[in-house]
Amino acid sequence: MLQPFQIEICDSSGHVLAVAEITDESQGYFLGRITRDEFPEELRSLLEEYEEIVAGQMLSLLDDVEAKLRAWGLRVGGIPGHVSSALVIDFQPEPEGGFALRVE
């Protein structure tokens, strides 16, 4: 079982956009919950759009939103075993601040 730990989610310039607690790891994904959120409105809208697409099972629309999320160049600091921040290669928001993410 994974010991919970805190991470920072940053933009490509290193500005902290959110703080989260990682509580589990499954199939290469870190699972957690956002504890402090300072996402810019444009990114927040993308995350909400992602959630709506998944909830509505309109999965054919996901590729476009996922590409826009990747374009943000999100990075994560604080993952054990990573010397510096790790590039987020997949970020899957979930309702009520939950998420799954995979890093490079």
Domain CATH for 72: 2.40.10
pLDDT digits 0-9 by tens, 66-103: 999 999 999 999 988 877 788 998 988 888 888 999 99
Region for residue 52 given its phi and psi (left: phi exceeds 0; alpha: psi -120 to 50; beta: otherwise): alpha
Split into its structural domains, the chain has a count of 1
pLDDT digits 0-9 by tens, 15-68: 999 999 999 999 989 999 999 999 999 999 999 999 999 889 988 899 999 999
Range of the domain at 98: 5-103
> Scanning the structure block, which residue is given the tokens 């909830």?
55
Report the pLDDT value the prediction gives residue 77, as an integer from 0 to 100.
93
Query: What global pTM score does this model have?
Result: 0.86
Report the pLDDT value the prediction gives residue 94, as an integer from 0 to 100.
87
Long-range Cβ contacts of 40-43 (<8 Å, 24+ apart) = 43/17, 43/69, 43/72
